[in-house]
Amino acid sequence: MDAGQDRDRAFADWLAPHLATLRRIARAFASPEDQYDLMQELMLAVWSARPRFQARSAETTFVYRVAHNTALTWKRGETRRRHRREAVEAEMMWRAERDRAEPEASLLERLYTAIRQLPPVERSLILLSLDGLSYAQIARLHGLSETNVGARLTRIRQRVSSLVEEADHGV
């Protein structure tokens, strides 16, 4: 057995009597679906803090203090996570509803998703074209010839079209 495995075994042996305490803390601070995640955070915090244990207090006191402080910090972050999760869910519901009501909005979102996949210069060229600028205006902005702008835009439009089709067909 190597030193790393010895260290891991020693920590597991040291932590074993405290697992019930960690589980109780996880149950008290986290909803059922988040308890596993919090339990992982608690064990990681104890693992990280273990080298600082100097036996000035009981092991149980040390583990409880580290775990309790970690749980309190995690609980403060839970509100942010919950708000973020609710915002994402609301956004997804809004988009789904919008897509049902406005098929063109869905197409527009797929178009912009495809455009975001292009390299920056190509992205700029297609956006300027979509904004109605002429090849001459685009050429001046980018220091290209009109012919070059036209050729690039033809390729870019084909690429965007294929990206949208791939997204539609789940490729």
Q: What is the pTM of this model?
A: 0.45
In tens digits, what is the pLDDT along the chain, a chain of 171 residues? Answer: 577 677 778 778 877 888 888 888 888 888 888 889 889 999 889 888 877 877 777 778 888 888 888 888 887 777 777 777 777 788 778 767 766 666 666 777 788 888 888 888 888 898 888 888 899 999 998 899 999 999 999 999 999 999 888 877 765
Instruction: Specify the fold of 3-97.
Output: Rna Polymerase Sigma Factor; Chain: A (1.10.1740)
- What pLDDT was estimated at residue 155? 94
- pLDDT, residue 3, reads 72
Would you say domain 103-168 falls under CATH 3.30.1490.100?
A: no
**Straight-line distance from the first to the last Cα atom of the chain, in angstroms, rounded to the nearest whole number:** 47
**DSSP result, 126-161:** HHHHHTT--HHHHHHHHT--HHHHHHHHHHHHHHHH
Q: How far apart are CA 159 and CA 110, in angstroms?
A: 13
**pLDDT at residue number 14:** 75
Question: What is the rounded CA–CA span in Å between residue 43 and residue 8?
Answer: 13
- Parts of the chain belonging to CATH 1.10.1740.10: 3-97
Contacts of 69 (CB under 8 A, 6+ apart): 45
State the span(s) of the chain assigned CATH 1.10.10.10: 103-168
